[in-house]
Amino acid sequence: MEEYVNKGIKEIIDEFPEVEDILNDYDIGCGPCNVGICLLKDIVTIHQLPEDQERQLMARIAKAIHPEQDIRIPRAEKKTAAKPEGLKYSPPMKKLVDEHVLIKRWIALIPEVVKNLDVESEEGRRLILDGIDMIRSYADKYHHAKEEDILFKYFDEEADIIKVMHEDHTRGRALVKEMLAALEKRDAKTIAANLMAYRELLTEHIRKEDEILYPWMDNQLSTHQVGELFAQFDEVDRQIDVSPGKYEALINQLEKKIEKQQG
């Protein structure tokens, strides 16, 4: 079979006419083609059949070529249209959307963190500081800085939608500042209130960005600008002294801890 995979289809059909009918069954009409130089392997690849259909097609061709061999023909599932799979966002916007995932995982944990808030013990205060560090370093410095220093500059920063995003970032920073001051005073009530306010703020902020702002921006950006943004985000990631892996490990650890607490 191996030698036929790299042969021109016309040659195969001439030798095994049944192959033409088999290909027709999968809407691959090579028979009438006057050229016929496409290799069998390329024909199978470029028609992008679903995996099960491709397996079935190849098994049927193999059986036509080697009828003496016992070749099992798998059953194919329902056919799906073959087309390239695209992204909902351009690559730089997709990067920002992907960065939201870790932030969303953190804010999902906030109610449990608040429930068990401990400002007295070293361990309790460490947990609060780690959470605040996640907000300041990952969400703000690593993520929001890409928006404020790069992305928003491509648009009219006086536009209402951009102003709202800036206001959300400013509000988030103010909440963090208050939390740090409250931790100094071991004021659990203020920390809890601010963590919950931050959760509410960021939940809505991320929803606005993922569903409204980024798709709108993608529609405005030229292909050239998308390339520029992608390169600039990449440069920030290489230069910045924030390690996303550190915060992913922190969230993993916290999720496990909370899962354990919940039994």
Partner 1 sequence: MNKFEGCPGSRMMDFNRTDEDNTGPAVGKIKSQLTQWPIQMHLINPSAPYYQGADVLLTADCVAYALGDFHREYLKDKSIAIACPKLDQGQDVYLEKIKAWIDDAKINTLTILIMQVPCCMGLLNLARQSADGAKRKVPIKYVVVGVQGEILQEEWGAA
CB of 4 to partner 1, least distance (A): 19
How far is CA 35 from each of CA 18, 21, 57, rounded to the nearest angstrom?
Answer: 19, 18, 22
SS (H, E, C) 121-133: CHHHHHHHHHHHH
Which residues 70-109 are close enough to bind partner 1 by CB under 8 A? 82-87, 89-92, 94
231 binds partner 1 (CB under 8 A): yes
Smallest distance, partner 1 to C-beta of residue 239, A = 16
What's the CA dihedral at 207, 209, 215, 218 to 10 degrees?
-160
Phi–psi pair at 243, nearest 5 degrees: -105, 110
Say if residues 187 and 119 touch (Cβ distance below 8 Å).
yes
Does the protein bind partner 1 through residue 164 (CB under 8 A)?
no
CA distances from 18 to 6, 33, 53, 60, 114 (A): 18, 16, 18, 10, 70
What does the per-residue mask of binding to partner 1 show for 32-71, with x meaning CB under 8 A?
xxxx-xx---x--xxxx-----------------------
In the stretch 190-229, what mask flags binding to partner 1 with x, by CB under 8 A?
Answer: ---------------------------------xx-xxx-
Cβ at position 219, least distance to partner 1 in Å: 12
Q: Is 239 exposed, middle or buried (0-12, 13-18, 19+ CB in 10 A)?
A: exposed
CB of 153 to partner 1, least distance (A): 17
| Residue 157 vs 235, nearer CB to partner 1 | 235
Structural contact between residues 175 and 194, judged by C-beta atoms closer than 8 angstroms: yes
Q: Which amino acid is at 125?
A: R
97 burial type by CB count under 10 A (0-12 exposed, 13-18 middle, 19+ buried): middle
The angle formed by the CA atoms of residues 245, 248 and 252, to the nearest 5 degrees, is 140
Give the nearest distance from C-beta 85 to partner 1 in angstroms: 8
Closer by beta carbon to partner 1, 42 or else 133:
42
Closer to partner 1 by Cβ: residue 178 or 218:
218
230 binds partner 1 (CB under 8 A): yes
Residue closer to partner 1 by CB (options 191, 221) is 221
Residue number, 28 or 61, with CB nearest to partner 1: 28
237 binds partner 1 (CB under 8 A): no
User: Binders of partner 1: how many residues, by CB under 8 A?
Assistant: 38
Question: At 14, phi and psi to the nearest 5?
Answer: -60, -40
Q: What residues make contact with partner 1 under the rule CB under 8 A?
A: 20-21, 24, 27-35, 37-38, 42, 45-48, 82-87, 89-92, 94, 223-224, 226-228, 230-231, 234
